[in-house]
Amino acid sequence: MSRDEILTRLYSLGAISLVRDIQEIEAGRVRRIALPQIPGGPEFSREVMNLLRCLGAEVDLVGERTGAGRLRRPG
């Protein structure tokens, strides 16, 4: 799946923030992102992850089950 196909599908799924993250990575402004989930099912998620890896991104997958990414500073 091409980059444009992935971005088009993400737009259609309403994942605008993920599209912006990809654009920021491409521009070199961001290298690491945290994703709670990728919409569109497992096959599409693999396509998105492959694109992110090809762009040199470091991706942290966080989930509600583990509570990862939900730590807050006290006070």
pLDDT at position 34, please?
A: 93
The residues with which 33 forms a beta bridge, in sequence order, are: 59
pLDDT at position 19, please?
A: 96
pLDDT at position 36, please?
A: 87
Distance between CA atoms of 18 and 35, rounded to whole angstroms? 8
Residue with tokens 């569109």: 40
Domain boundaries defined on the chain: 3-61
Tell me the pLDDT tens digit for each residue of 13-71: 999 999 999 999 999 999 999 998 899 999 999 999 999 999 999 999 887 554 444 33
Element (H, E) at 32: strand 32-35
Burial status of residue 59 (CB atoms within 10 A of its CB: 0-12, 13-18, 19 or more): middle
Residue 6 above 80 pLDDT? yes
pLDDT at position 5, please?
A: 98
DSSP secondary structure letter of residue 38: -
